[in-house]
Amino acid sequence: MTRCAACRSRRIKCHSDCILSPYFPSNDPERFASVHKIYTAGHVARMLQQLPVHLRAEAADALYYEAQCRIRDPVYGSVGVISQLHQLICDAQRQLAKAQAEVACFNAQGEEATTQLQ
């Protein structure tokens, strides 16, 4: 039987009930290496174990994403991404407020013109 990336990396036999094998296939060793570096394999296994089976794939993906963020940015990790997104939201809201003020101004001018015509 092919060992999953987690068992291959740890040089142990990959049993049929290996909890990591569905989420860390042997053809993507980098994926396992990332989460192992940040959380350790045992911790990832424990976190997945505590979840219902149908949610484990999404949890493994999220842990992989967070681990990649932390490897790329060892100081801020995924919190750095969150800060950037907050900044983007602030910028979009500022632009939106400006455009809405312009619309309100045009509407007020339109109403004024209509009143004068009556």
- The number of helices, as runs of H, and strands, as runs of E, in the chain is 5, 0
19 exposure class (CB count in 10 Å sphere: 0-12, 13-18, 19+): middle
Q: Which residues bind its own copies (CB under 8 A)?
A: 38-40, 43, 47, 50-51, 55, 58-59, 61-63, 65-66, 70, 74-82, 85-86, 88-89, 92-93, 95-96, 99-100, 102-103, 106
Distance CA 23, CA 61 (A): 8
- Which CB, 3 or 76, lies closer to its own copies? 76
- Which CB, 13 or 52, lies closer to its own copies? 52
Shortest CB 22 distance to its own copies, Å: 15
